[in-house]
Chain A
Amino acid sequence: MTITVASGKGGAGKTSLAAALAASVGSSCIVADCDVDAANGAIALHARLRESGPYFAGPGYRIEPSLCIGCGRCMPACRFNAIRTDKTRRTYLIAEELCERCGACTDHCPVDAIQGFTKEAGRLSVSDCPLGMTLIHAELVPGEDTSGKLVNQVRRRADTINPGNAIIIVDAPPGIGCPVIASLSGADIVLLVVDSTISGLRDSLRLSELAAGMDKRIIAIINKTGLDEEIDNKIRVAMTQSSIPVMGEIPFDPLLRSVEEKDLTWIDVAGEAGLKAKAAVRAVLEYAQMQMIY
């Protein structure tokens, strides 16, 4: 059973909610932090590194100066204007920051001076959490953008570790692009975290459109309610219109944020916000249980 926590928007509470879910399930669950551009599941779950290995992206392309004859045929082949002349040496070079790694230039080089290379673009790690669950997480080197592939590797590692019937909680990145699609694929349930703001609603509807196109079961939790009654209502109506069952609402409360500075998650918070978070998380798990039976 895989539950993917997604929102479309950043800062909606995905990671915190994923941590709270994991804490409720307990030691048998596996958490896959797929927000590889800004992974913070390890912080939320106070994880300790068990093992870590390099992640190789590629290929990137470079022009070997000793082989380049300076014919310039590669330059018009590049649709991203990443190839420039090196006037002093009468050869060409690829600006790495502009290169989209399509490799079109290699087809046009008459002397095979353009070579592919792989490089370490990040790390894929497995960590242990004090509450007993296993966390799979990864981190990209700043500036690298190869996240769909890395997300896929995080997901596959989580599936490998799964003894068979564990609950896997996937913490998706924000947005609706490649790494998000990789986070949704294979998920049994998509838990939409709706930030109770205008952009939170817009982005969650975009995400739900994407997930619905992939035939996903979508459920929602509305986060940070009570700040603006009008927006709260708008979101409730929108969820009903989209036939997305709302598992709970969590009111805005600075206490929720403060627990993460200690070794706790939202379900440990005293007061209304904590109780509602706990109830929402329990409702999600009951829903998941029902999906497993039927």
Chain B
Amino acid sequence: MKLGIPTDDGKTVSGIFGRANSFAVYDTDTAELIVLANEGIGAEHGAGTGAASFLAEQGVSKVLAPELGPKALSALSSAGVAVARVEAGTKILEVVRRA
């Protein structure tokens, strides 16, 4: 299963979702962790839904974030992606270790 986590510095969880600098994608089966740039960061509108669809396309089945906007939440749920809360500033490695 793949987990998606918003991150600004590639190391810790970002406080925001749709306009985070990048997303850490962790594969629990292979223990592979990659950080992908968020190309939707400059979107005028719909950064949250854009991020949701980007992560769904990456095969992410669970998003771990401190908070999500209403549109991002409904986009994730319609894509069948689960959501769990983690605190902003937590180390990504810590988050995936606990997952």
Contacts and interface: CB of A to CB of B under 8 A. Distances in A.
Contact of A181 (B15, B43, B48): B48
Interface in A137-193: 145-146, 148-149, 152, 178, 181-182, 185-186
Interface string B34-78: 000000001111111000000000000000001111110100000
B69 A149 contact: no
Contact of B44 (A101, A186, A214, A216): A101
Given A185-B15, A185-B16, A215 B44 contact: no
A182 B44 contact: no
A44 B38 CA distance: 36
Give the dominant DSSP class at B's interface. Answer: loop
A186 B45 contact: no
A156 B58 CA distance: 27
B67 A210 contact: no
Contacts of A57: 44
B88 A186 contact: yes
A186 B15 contact: yes
Nearest to A101: B44
Question: What class of interface size applies to chain B in its complex with A?
Answer: 20 to 34
Interface residues of A, number: 18
Contacts of B85: 215
A149 B16 CA distance: 13
Contacts of B67: 185-186, 214-216
